[in-house]
Chain A
Amino acid sequence: QVQLVESGGGVVQPGRSLRLSCAASGFSFSSFGIHWVRQAPGKGLEWVSVISYDGNEKYYADSVKGRFIISRDNSKNTLYLQMNTLRAEDTAVYFCARDMGRLDFDLWGRGTLVTVSS
């Protein structure tokens, strides 16, 4: 079954760290760029980060640059997002999404909720 499954969300205090995972199955994971997109409660979609198919290119939104690190392990068909120095405004559902080209997200996970609160 072609799918992406996120995990690792939860409640974390401001300033702490959390690592999200996105497990892929049913397709050639190492052939696609993969993105993280988030959605704060009741708000719109926000692009967060992307990693190229081979992991050599990475880009970040200004709002997370210097705090978040995207990585992938193609041998495990898994994408990661290391989130450091978390802030209340990072509270959101985090989706991973497969890119067909340039932000053409044809496959999405169901998302994992991250809540940053003391």
Chain B
Amino acid sequence: QSALTQPPSASGSPGQSVTISCTGTSSDVGGYNYVSWYQQHPGKAPKLMIFEVSKRPSGVPDRFSGSKSGNTASLTVSGLQAEDEADYYCSSYGGSNKFGVFGSGTKVTVL
């Protein structure tokens, strides 16, 4: 199972927006509306930020939004705050043959 492709890093100043891409194939990202995004701070377990492409779990700020076009999903963080500095991972369902795959991860830096 090849990892989904994410940019290694992204950055923005406080208050700005940053968008992270997650590119897969028609067998995973493009084939199902089951893309999730996770935030991970150093030494901590990941936290679910977006599920089913664009849904936010209770408690996640509406500054976080998700979308998908074809084989590429995106996470946008608006109004960047210092606490948003973390690693972000996408994941996708890949059907019964592949089931689950994560992205390679993106380190977001708040300048």
Interface residues of A (CB under 8 A from B): 35, 37, 44-47, 50, 59, 61-63, 95, 100-106, 108-111
Contact = CB atoms under 8 A, between A and B. Distances in A.
Contacts of B93: 102-103
Interface residues of B, number: 27
B1 A100 contact: no
Interface of B: 1, 3, 32, 34, 36, 38, 40, 45-48, 51-52, 57, 87, 89, 91-93, 96, 99-105
A105 B1 CA distance: 19
B52 A45 contact: no
Contacts of A102: 32, 34, 52, 93
Contacts of B105: 44-45
Contacts of A44: 3, 87, 89, 102-105
A103 B91 contact: yes
Nearest to B32: A102
B51 A101 contact: yes
Contacts, number: 70
Given A44-B3, A47-B91, A105 B102 contact: no
A101 B52 contact: yes
Given A59-B99, A105-B36, 18 more contacts: A35-B100, A44-B87, A44-B105, A45-B102, A46-B102, A47-B99, A59-B100, A61-B100, A101-B34, A101-B51, A102-B34, A102-B93, A103-B92, A104-B36, A104-B52, A105-B48, A106-B48, A109-B45
Contacts of A63: 1
Q: Which of the listed residues B92, B99, B104, B105 has the most CB atoms from chain A within 10 Å of its own CB?
A: B99
Given A47-B101, A50-B99, A95 B1 contact: no
29 contacts: A35-B100, A44-B87, A44-B89, A44-B102, A44-B103, A44-B105, A45-B46, A45-B89, A46-B3, A46-B102, A47-B1, A47-B101, A47-B102, A50-B99, A50-B100, A59-B99, A61-B1, A62-B1, A63-B1, A102-B34, A102-B52, A103-B34, A103-B92, A104-B34, A104-B36, A105-B91, A108-B45, A108-B46, A109-B45
A39 B87 CA distance: 13
